[in-house]
């Protein structure tokens, strides 16, 4: 089995990013991550992206370094963690990469993380606590 890796980051969306462009980020991210067996979540709230990507180490690091970090639609990337893992947190959450668009989606993620009980899920639970989605992105 190939080594697994998890990266979590928060970034600022470019101020001129439209709702349609945010929706395109969601669509492309979901499609590409599901195609390459990447688990995790992506959410957008009040000008900020929050993403967790998990999967095969080589792919995750390449994705982060060569696509995410150079994407011109966001800036000021704050890396929460970037580490090897033996059991990705979101592996058992769903069969696909998840886009968090509604309060219900966010609550399901928070409930799941609360029940997983690992040091990584505890950290993610604390990070997601202040996130409240004021409106669905359409």
State pLDDT tens for residues 100-136: 888 888 889 888 888 887 888 888 888 888 777 655 4
**pLDDT tier, 97 (very low <50, low <70, confident <90, very high otherwise):** confident
Which of 3.40.50.170, 3.40.640.10, 3.30.70.100, 3.40.1160.10 is the CATH number of 4-128? Answer: 3.30.70.100
Residue 83, H or E segment: strand 74-85
Token pair 């929460």 in the structure block, residue: 80
Kindly tell me if the per-residue pLDDT of 95 is higher than 70.
no
Nearest C-alpha neighbor of 105 from the set 74, 137, 127, 77: 137
Look at strands 98-100 and 39-45 and give their pairing. Answer: parallel
Q: What Cα–Cα distance (Å) separates residue 38 from each residue in 14, 93, 117?
A: 25, 12, 21
| Domain parsing of the chain, residue ranges | 4-128
State pLDDT tens for residues 40-69: 999 998 899 999 999 999 999 999 999 999
Kindly tell me if the per-residue pLDDT of 3 is higher than 70.
yes
Q: Can you tell me the mean pLDDT for 84-101?
A: 84
Mean model confidence pLDDT for the chain: 88
């Amino acid at each position: 089995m190939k080594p697994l890796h998890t990266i979590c980051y928060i970034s600022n969306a470019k101020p001129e990013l439209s709702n349609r462009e945010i929706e395109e980020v969601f669509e492309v991210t979901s499609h590409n991550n599901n195609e390459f067996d990447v688990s995790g979540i992506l959410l957008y709230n009040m000008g900020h992206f929050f993403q967790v990507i998990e999967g095969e180490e080589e792919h995750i690091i390449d994705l982060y370094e060569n696509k995410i970090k150079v994407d011109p639609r966001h800036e000021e990337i704050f890396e929460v963690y970037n580490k090897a893992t033996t059991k990705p947190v979101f592996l058992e959450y769903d069969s696909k990469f998840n886009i968090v668009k509604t309060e219900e989606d966010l609550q399901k993620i928070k409930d799941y993380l609360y029940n997983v009980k690992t040091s990584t899920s505890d950290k993610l639970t604390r990070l997601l606590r202040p996130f409240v989605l004021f409106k669905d992105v359409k």
